Structure 1
Amino acid sequence: MEDTLMNQTMSQTLTKENELSTAENELAENLFNAYQTHEPLQQSAYEGVVTDEETAYRVQHRLTELKDEAVGGYKVSLTSQETQDMFDSDSPLYGAQVKSHFVSSPTTLYRSDLMEPLAEVEMLFTAKEDLSSEDSLVELLHKTKVAPAVEVPDSRFSDWFPSLSKYMVMSDAAVGGYVVYGNEVDTDKLFTDVDELANVTCELFHDGKKLKDGSSSEVLGNPLHSLHWLVEKLEQQGTPLKAGQRVSSGTFLLPESLGNGSWKATFDKGLGAVFFDVVD
């Protein structure tokens, strides 16, 4: 009897902690409306609504529910010192991504489906089995597939980069747009040890012109660190990373504005390339 009462009390406490205030729920609903209509919100209209991480993820979780689509995976943001400094943060953050927004290369993205998109070059992992915070980096190497990717961050707020607050970024599913990914292979077949993943370089091209290059070491020193951070974070929040889910682990370089035309990202170490077009 005592255990039953204790469990009921704990359940009520958790429910109360996860309840959104009226203002938080309104923000989630307005984010979802902007997600559907592509009519941007103004950050100033929500001043003081989200002021901490717990609240921000609570809004994000509600936004994800409203999308009414399976979560295909996650994106990890703020994985370099430079991007953390931009958003006044001392740690990464994540956003849930619906399944339809992970698309394989080559593909075409349409301007009508985008708002203010950017391009980031990333390493994408796919869990071959459920992942655990107790997994070492070596175990994550064996339990995943890896692929080249270009993530297309895109916010529901206007004039968002880099002025959007960290907590609004979190609320807005880490400004998730699309993730275009290339050929997936077993991570341990492409890389013989963990350290090799820290030494992958990339080049980003637009209409045949090289824009910049970058390195996987920008992603918390090694993209597997980013994956492990996410697995641990999700587990703490009661939503562990499941087999089949994908993770865009963090950008190798500062983002570029995503204009119309042909885009290409190439990677060394046998990782491959990603191709896509952006059209009206």
Structure 2
Amino acid sequence: MEAMLMDTQVKEQTNELTDTQKEFAKKLFDAYQTHRPLKEADFSNVVTDEESAYAVQRKFTEMKDEEVGGYKVSLTSKQTQDMFDSDSPLYGAQVKSHFMESGVTLHGSELMEPLAEVEMMFTATEDLSASDSPEELMRKTKVAPAVEAPDSRFEDWFPALSKYMVMSDAAVGGYVVYGQEVKTTDLFDSPEELAHVECELFHDGKKLKDGQSSEVLGNPLESLHWLAEKLESQGTPLRAGQRVSSGTFLLPESLRKGDWKATFNKGFGSVFLHVTE
């Protein structure tokens, strides 16, 4: 009973918005629908801390009127944290329809200024908890290779957008395209093995760059644990069935038209997507 009361109090505290912040959330939703970008300068000082930024994100997500299918974790390397003047990761809620299976076509009319990132995606098969050990997180999840297409409601956003704007904008969530999902414990024998997955990213058959899972907080399981702990502290725990795009293995590329492929070792397989004008 005490835990339920605490959850309710957390939600009440984090959902309080000023009229200006409510209007900001509405502008984000309008840009989400129309694909007409906003200018950050028009919203300076509307959100000035983490609590208000996540509150705007929740309102923005609520306006989408669609089930939350999971989350994306951003700023999971020292390099990306430095770009956005942050000392920790941040997350964004992702609606269910924006998690898509490998082989999908993304249309330019549905995008604004998208990037391409290569990630490890987890799917919770049970509710996750801040107290879960790395071994328990493995037991409670499936894992899949993924290409995330982060996108923003702001113009000229990468890497210039401020941290609180990124938080408000659902961590610049776009789409997550994922490959075959398997039980994490079927693919890996120990948590340490998840830190040694390597990838290569290709566009129209040309290799652009490679990366490794150790770029994600040293191990993508650390990113998953960070998110479970963060969501639990805000009264919205990570539930069974929700997916988590855990952080990029490499610095992003511009997601231009053509055929994209990400390949992985450790039996992960590949992810394919096509982008049109």
TM-score, normalised relative to structure 2: 0.96
Residue equivalent to 1:114: 111
Which residue pairs with 1:98 in the alignment?
95
Unaligned runs of 5+ in 2: none
Partner residue of 1:214 out of 211, 214, 220: 211
Deviations 1:191-214 (A, max 9, x none): 010000000000000000000000
Within-5 A mapping of 1:76-225: 76-225=73-222
> Of residues 64, 80, 89 in structure 1, which corresponds to 2:61?
64
SS of the residue 1:214 aligns to = strand
Q: 2:94 & 2:14 partners in 1: Cα distance?
A: 24
- Counterpart for residue 239 of structure 1: 236
- Distance in 1 (CA, whole Å) between partners of 2:187 and 2:138 is 10
- Amino acid in the other structure paired with 1:150: V
Q: CA RMSD in A?
A: 1.6
SS of 2:47's equivalent in the other structure is coil
Tell me how far apart the structure 2 counterparts of residues 155 and 140 of structure 1 sit (CA, whole Å).
30
Other structure's SS at 2:266 match: coil
Structure 1 position 279 matched with structure 2 position 244: no
Task: Give the deviation of 1:19 after TM superposition.
Answer: 1.5
Distance 1:16 1:120, change over 3 A: closer
Distance apart, 1:158 and its partner CA: 0.2
- Note the 1:44-59 alignment, pairs <5 A: 44-59=41-56
Q: Paired residue for 1:4?
A: none
Matches of 2:170 and 2:8, distance apart in 1? 26
Please state how far the C-alpha of 1:12 moved relative to its aligned partner. Answer: 8.0
Pairing partner for 1:19 from 2, 6, 16? 16
1:18 CA drift (Å): 2.5
In the TM superposition, structure 1's runs of 4+ consecutive aligned residues that sit over 6 Å from their partners are 10-14
Instruction: Tell me the secondary structure at the aligned position of residue 128 of structure 2.
Output: coil
Alpha-carbon contact 2:14-2:54 (below 8 Å) kept: no
Identity of aligned residues (%): 71
The count of aligned residue pairs is 273
Distance in 2, Cα, partners of 1:186 & 1:13: 33
The aligned residue for residue 245 of structure 2 is: 248
Provide the C-alpha distance between the structure 1 equivalents of 2:131 and 2:69, rounded to a whole number of angstroms.
22
Q: Deviations over 1:56-100 (max 9, x none)?
A: 000000001000000000000000000000000000000000000
Which runs of 5 or more residues in structure 1 are unaligned? 1-6
Matched, 1:263 2:263: no
TM-score, normalising length: structure 1: 0.95
